[in-house]
């Protein structure tokens, strides 16, 4: 309380604060030593819970005498009453209330009447602490008191849970068996029950941040006692002193909150005000590369690589090779097998390169012929022949008990002149029968000559939440000049929507160089954020690429700016084989704090059937991570991974069973 007073007076001198706090402790020790009058400390405690959980019995156990009547087979408290007493020099007032009935449709009206009468009773003199009672032996996987907790929140408000302590009675009852048939450990069982009731309270207030303290109580007359005559729990704790200690701490914290006026700074329940977006996140989204979808299939980076590659096609100069059957291949020796596979892999790479060049050449010829026809045609709006429909791959379907796969029910054809709409599978969603909780939509079309538009979005809807994410973009692509694009991104954040309008201009005036500049405007909860960026990409040969960008984001009284430098080295067979090594250096400044970070990422082939990806990053805050991923199509390697996973699971399970046996013994 003294420290809170110093904070209230805005005391900034740390030495004076420590000296004042030490002096307050010395005065308290002196007063206790000379036997001064007891501290006038009082506490009002409200008791809530169902009938028969032990509210009145707990009051008698705390005072050490029968202050209230109790009943084993019928409710003992039928009206609201105050029980006043003194415990170890503390003046405590318990507000004993009638118990609630189990959750059901018929009992909800009676429970509401009891709660309304309690609310009227405590209106003049609110309690400092609320004790919510529940029987430990009644909490299991089928715990169904969520409607009662929700009714308590509705009648008393979410603020009642700030100073609430959950009390579990009958804490010395027999512990049930676990899923494996062994008796559970006492601490594990308590933790399991605590998680269940806390999750129900969090769902009742719609806030996962709330964590109420949980105390264990045993009021039975045969409860074990220590040498001081105090009742103890199976874990050896003295529950009476612990409960009083928690009540005193909660009372003091409540007084501190009143002194510092913190009550209204935090509110439980779903957030009514939208969270302010992170400026570094908006800046990184602005600097992120947004690809432009077009029907011509051209790509700037691949185009730069093909411009360098003017050598003659090696695939046509190779001598013919005989393709072996499986039986013939098995008859070869190991060195010959390796040489044969290396030769086939080399020829495959050359063939894919040749095919890529031919596709690029055909697209260029088609583009030139289209331009020539457009100039010579009297009617520029002549329709071309529709493209051939393409069969989409089979989509993932919900699990079912049928022996046959029903993927054929969802097969469809798609062409360039129609929307691609597919359902989104969510196996963990609320609708287990259908399993589809959303819709994914994609479309790309050519509005006019060299003007393209694309729409990509996904919508999810369940019984409680609705979310949408979409990216709409339009671009003018000049094959021999600049590219202008504009996009609108919409994303749901809670009950609001964040909308971003962005515009980019890409210039290719200099050979082997691509310059990009862009601006963006983001709107969320009547707040606006404006950003701008500059980016330049330089190609050195076919394999080396340098990217340098810088940007700034400002809005809502905040500002963030940063940039990055990336060096990317591709493999010899890029883009046929996507082997590359990239080094990135990033700088970010926000709220007068600068953070430097660096990352290294590499992707390469380990063998013909496996690939590896290694990435790591580290920043000036001494935080970082390392990630290693290995993928393989070899059945033997996949089986070995599964074998080691099962072996690791069994090695963990065995020591757990031994510990459980030792506890039961």
| Interval 415-469: pLDDT, tens | 655 677 777 776 555 544 556 678 888 888 888 888 888 899 988 877 667 888 9
| Per-residue pLDDT reduced to its tens digit, 648-658 | 777 765 444 44
Distance, in Å, from the CA atom of 497 to the CA atom of 635, rounded to the nearest integer, reads: 46
Rama region for 229: left / alpha / beta (φ>0; ψ in -120 to 50; rest): left
| Most confident option among 336-350, 513-527, 647-661 | 513-527
Q: Are 204 and 212 in contact (CB under 8 A)?
A: no
Q: Are 248 and 42 in contact (CB under 8 A)?
A: no
Q: Which of 465, 491, 494, 489 is nearest to 275 (CA)?
A: 494
Q: Which of 63, 247, 73, 75 is nearest to 167 (CA)?
A: 247
pLDDT-derived band of residue 118, with 50, 70 and 90 as boundaries? very high
pLDDT-derived band of residue 252, with 50, 70 and 90 as boundaries? confident
For residues 69-98, give the mean pLDDT: 80
Q: Is the pLDDT of residue 535 over 70?
A: yes
Rounded to the nearest 10°, the torsion over CA 374, 377, 380, 381 is -120
Distance, in Å, from the CA atom of 441 to the CA atom of 420, rounded to the nearest integer, reads: 6
pLDDT at position 166 is 92
Considering the chain, what percentage of its residues have pLDDT values greater than 70?
74
Report residue 45 as tokens. 């405690």
For residues 228-234, give the mean pLDDT: 86
Residue 549: CB atoms within 10 A of its CB come to 22
| Per-residue pLDDT reduced to its tens digit, 235-244 | 888 898 888 8
More confident residue, 657 or 127: 127
Q: Are 244 and 131 in contact (CB under 8 A)?
A: no
Least confident of 83-87, 111-115, 119-123, 423-427: 423-427
Tracing tokens 């989104």 back to the chain, one arrives at 424
pLDDT-derived band of residue 512, with 50, 70 and 90 as boundaries? confident
Least confident of 223-237, 363-377, 441-455, 520-534: 363-377
Report residue 237 as tokens. 């704790």
pLDDT at position 120 is 92
Distance, in Å, from the CA atom of 239 to the CA atom of 245, rounded to the nearest integer, reads: 10
Q: Which of 254, 253, 230, 252 is nearest to 242 (CA)?
A: 230
Q: Which letter, b or e, does each residue of 613-634 get, where b requires 16 or more Cβ atoms within 10 Å of its Cβ?
A: eeeebeeeeeeeeeeeeeebee
Cα distances from 552 to residues 191, 517, 595, in angstroms, run 48, 12, 15
**Cα atoms found within 13 Å of the Cα of residue 133, Cβ hemisphere only:** 27
For residues 272-290, give the mean pLDDT: 76
Helix ranges, 331-384 (H) = 334-376
Q: Is the pLDDT of residue 551 over 90?
A: yes
Q: Identify the DSSP state of 463.
A: S
Helices (H) and strands (E) in the chain, counts: 12, 22
Q: Is the pLDDT of residue 378 over 80?
A: no
Show the 3-state SS of 403-425: CCCCHHHHCCEECCCCCEEEEEE
Least confident of 152-166, 341-355, 481-495, 500-514: 341-355
pLDDT at position 664 is 41
Q: Is the pLDDT of residue 4 over 80?
A: no
Q: Are 43 and 128 in contact (CB under 8 A)?
A: yes
Axis-axis angle for helices 108-121, 146-156 (nearest 10): 30
Q: Which of 498, 488, 549 is nearest to 520 (CA)?
A: 488
Burial class (CB in 10 A: 0-12, 13-18, 19+), 340: middle
Report residue 307 as tokens. 């411009």
Q: Is the pLDDT of residue 364 over 60?
A: yes
Q: Are 604 and 571 in contact (CB under 8 A)?
A: yes
Question: Can you give the length of the chain in residues?
Answer: 665
pLDDT at position 631 is 82
Q: Is the pLDDT of residue 615 over 70?
A: yes
pLDDT at position 39 is 64
Q: Which of 328, 321, 373 is nearest to 350 (CA)?
A: 321
Q: Is the pLDDT of residue 189 over 90?
A: no
| Per-residue pLDDT reduced to its tens digit, 177-187 | 776 667 778 88
| Per-residue pLDDT reduced to its tens digit, 320-332 | 888 888 888 888 8
pLDDT at position 399 is 60
Q: Is the pLDDT of residue 517 over 90?
A: yes
Q: Are 110 and 99 in contact (CB under 8 A)?
A: no
More confident residue, 481 or 627: 627
Burial class (CB in 10 A: 0-12, 13-18, 19+), 291: exposed
**Cα atoms found within 13 Å of the Cα of residue 661, Cβ hemisphere only:** 6
pLDDT at position 104 is 78
Report residue 432 as tokens. 């287990």
Sort strands 483-493 and 466-477 into parallel, antiparallel or unpaired. Answer: antiparallel
Task: Read off the pTM.
Answer: 0.52
Distance, in Å, from the CA atom of 611 to the CA atom of 631, rounded to the nearest integer, reads: 5
pLDDT-derived band of residue 302, with 50, 70 and 90 as boundaries? low
For residues 245-270, give the mean pLDDT: 71
pLDDT at position 446 is 81
pLDDT at position 520 is 94
pLDDT, averaged across the chain: 78
Distance, in Å, from the CA atom of 310 to the CA atom of 313, rounded to the nearest integer, reads: 9
| Most confident option among 171-185, 299-313, 612-626 | 612-626
pLDDT at position 578 is 81
């Amino acid at each position: 309380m003294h420290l809170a007073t110093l904070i209230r007076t805005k005391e900034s001198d740390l030495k004076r604060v420590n000296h004042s706090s030490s002096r307050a402790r010395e005065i308290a020790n002196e007063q206790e030593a000379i036997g001064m009058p007891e501290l006038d400390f009082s506490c009002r405690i409200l008791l809530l819970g169902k009938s028969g959980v032990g509210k009145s019995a707990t009051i008698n156990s705390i005072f050490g005498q029968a202050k209230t009547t109790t009943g084993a087979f019928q409710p003992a408290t039928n009206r609201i009453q105050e029980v006043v007493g003194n415990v170890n020099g503390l003046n405590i007032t318990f507000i004993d209330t009638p118990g609630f009935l189990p959750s059901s449709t018929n009992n909800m009206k009676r429970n509401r009447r009891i709660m309304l009468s309690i609310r009227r009773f405590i209106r003049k003199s609110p309690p400092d602490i609320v004790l919510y009672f529940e029987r430990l032996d009644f909490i299991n996987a089928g715990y169904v008191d969520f409607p009662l907790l929700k009714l308590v929140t509705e009648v008393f408000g979410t603020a009642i849970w700030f100073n609430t302590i959950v009390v579990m009675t009958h804490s010395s009852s027999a512990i049930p068996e676990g899923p494996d048939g062994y008796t559970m450990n006492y601490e594990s069982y308590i933790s399991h029950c605590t998680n269940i009731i806390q999750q129900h309270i969090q769902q009742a207030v719609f806030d996962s941040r709330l964590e109420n303290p949980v105390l264990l109580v045993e009021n039975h007359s045969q409860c074990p006692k220590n040498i001081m005559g105090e009742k103890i729990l199976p874990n050896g704790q003295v529950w009476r002193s612990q409960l009083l200690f928690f009540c005193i701490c909660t009372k003091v914290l409540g007084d501190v909150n009143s002194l510092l006026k913190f009550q209204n700074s935090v509110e439980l329940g779903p957030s009514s005000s939208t969270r302010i977006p992170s400026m570094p996140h908006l800046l990184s989204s602005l600097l992120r590369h947004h690809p432009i979808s077009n029907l011509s299939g051209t790509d700037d980076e691949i185009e730069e690589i093909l411009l360098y590659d003017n050598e003659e096609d090696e695939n046509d100069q190779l001598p013919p090779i005989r393709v072996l059957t499986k039986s013939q291949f098995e008859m070869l020796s190991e060195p010959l097998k390796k040489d044969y596979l290396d030769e086939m892999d080399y020829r495959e790479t050359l063939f894919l390169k040749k095919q890529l060049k031919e596709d690029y050449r055909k697209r260029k010829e088609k583009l030139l012929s289209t331009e020539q026809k457009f100039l010579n045609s009297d009617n520029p709006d002549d329709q071309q022949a529709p493209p051939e429909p393409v069969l989409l791959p089979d989509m993932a379907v919900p699990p079912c008990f049928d022996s046959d796969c029903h993927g054929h029910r969802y097969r469809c054809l798609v062409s360039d002149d129609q929307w691609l709409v597919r359902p989104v599978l969510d196996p963990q969603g609320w609708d287990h029968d259908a399993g589809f909780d959303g819709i994914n939509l994609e479309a790309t079309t050519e509005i006019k000559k060299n003007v393209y538009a694309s729409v990509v979005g996904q919508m999810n809807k369940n019984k409680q939440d609705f979310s949408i994410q979409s990216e709409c973009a339009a671009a003018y692509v000049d094959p021999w000049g600049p590219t202008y694009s504009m996009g609108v991104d919409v994303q749901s954040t809670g009950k609001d929507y964040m909308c971003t309008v962005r515009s980019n201009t890409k210039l290719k005036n200099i050979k082997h160089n691509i310059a990009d500049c862009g601006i963006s405007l983001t709107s969320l909860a009547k707040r606006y954020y404006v950003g701008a960026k500059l980016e330049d990409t330089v190609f050195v040969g076919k394999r080396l690429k340098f990217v340098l960008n810088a940007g700034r984001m400002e809005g809502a009284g905040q500002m963030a700016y940063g940039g990055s430098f990336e060096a990317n080295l591709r493999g010899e067979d890029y883009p046929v084989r996507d082997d590359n090594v990239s080094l990135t250096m990033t700088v970010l400044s926000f709220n007068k704090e600068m953070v430097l970070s660096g990352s290294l990422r590499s992707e390469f082939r380990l063998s013909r059937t496996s690939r590896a990806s290694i990435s790591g990053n580290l920043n000036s805050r001494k935080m970082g991570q390392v990630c290693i991923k290995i993928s393989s199509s070899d059945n033997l390697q996949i089986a070995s991974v599964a074998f080691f996973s099962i072996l690791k699971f069994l090695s963990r399970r065995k020591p757990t069973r031994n510990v459980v046996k030792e506890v039961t013994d």
